[in-house]
Amino acid sequence: MKSDPATSAAPLRAVGGALRSSEPVRAAPAPSAAALLLEEAADLLVVHLDFGAALRTCERAWQGLAEEPAGASLEVKCSLCIVGIQALAEMDRWREVLSWVLQYYQAPEKLPPKVLELCVLLYSKMQEPGAVVDGVRAWLQDPDNQGLPEYRSLAELHLQRVLLPLGLLSEAEELVVGSAAFSEKQRLDALQAISAARQQQTHGHSGSEETRTLNQEDSSSHKFLSLLTLLRQLWDSAVSHFFSLPLSKSLLAALLLCLLVLRFDPG
């Protein structure tokens, strides 16, 4: 029995019209080798908890990207850094994070805003904001970065997490007064915070230097353990949903997850 032509064509029309024989079928572009390695690295990091293998996979992906044009695969490069940062932190090698990302971007002012933000959050959480002060300063002073939408948030983060904790009050004041990134209200609030910090600095702190050092070490260890505990809890609840998403969405989910973890600060 012959099929009815109108009936057989109906499913094609239902999904956007009948397919013409002269129209070429458009295939989705195949993911690059670096994108495939990125997905493998994320799988090793999140599912298998093999942090060393995840880091090595990121480095293999970077070797392949070195042969591509400078502007290619920006999202993949940024995501590789995020996975690598998490892997290093999990292996208690967080002190290597900044030097690790800089080997791929050469100069701190070239770092993607999200990568630099993660570095600031990580080092400030581990009570070593001095490790990033020069890099963030260079990034903020670069004219190419001053028009980016993330500039304001990074300037605020630098003020709150780096300059004020380090007691670099004159530099903090120069940043607030000389930068157009701050609104008038933000500028007033920041200047009040700087003034309060200056008064505290003038009157000195109670307790000996040794006591403060021990307290900082205890706080650093406690915060690091809290960071890893929360990270694993979030992974346990999110892993099934994470890998059910398309690659581009899963990368965004990974980014948001990393930011959520590093922003967690009960203090």
Tens of pLDDT, residues 12-32: 333 344 444 455 545 445 667
Is residue 256's pLDDT more than 60? no
The pLDDT value given to residue 222? 54
The mean per-residue pLDDT over the stretch 83-89 comes to 93
The pLDDT value given to residue 117? 93
Amino acid letter for position 105: Y
Name the E strands within 150-232.
none
According to DSSP, residue 67 is labeled T
In Å, what is the CA distance from 31 to each residue of 103, 151, 206, 225? Answer: 25, 31, 58, 36
Q: Give the integer Cα–Cα distance in Å for 215 and 237.
A: 33
| Highest-confidence segment of 69-83, 103-117, 172-186 | 103-117
pLDDT, one tens digit per residue, over 167-222 is 999 999 999 998 888 889 989 998 999 999 999 888 765 444 544 554 555 555 55
The mean pLDDT of the chain is 76
CA neighbor of 267 nearest in space, from 171, 116, 168, 160: 160
The pLDDT value given to residue 33? 87
Largest CA-CA distance found in the chain, in angstroms, rounded: 98
According to DSSP, residue 4 is labeled P
Q: Are 132 and 157 in contact (CB under 8 A)?
A: no
Greater pLDDT, 68 or 157:
157
The pLDDT value given to residue 65? 85
In b/e form, how buried is each residue of 29-59, taking b as 16+ CB within 10 angstroms? Answer: eeebebbbbbbbbbbbbbeeebbebbbebbb
The pLDDT value given to residue 172? 93
How confident is residue 90, by pLDDT bands cut at 50, 70 and 90? Answer: very high
Domain range annotation of the chain: 33-106+221-245+252-257
The pLDDT value given to residue 228? 57
The pLDDT value given to residue 163? 96
How confident is residue 64, by pLDDT bands cut at 50, 70 and 90? Answer: confident
The mean per-residue pLDDT over the stretch 120-128 comes to 92
Is residue 132's pLDDT more than 50? yes
Average the pLDDT over each of 10-14, 95-99, 162-166, 186-190 and give the range with the smallest value.
Answer: 10-14
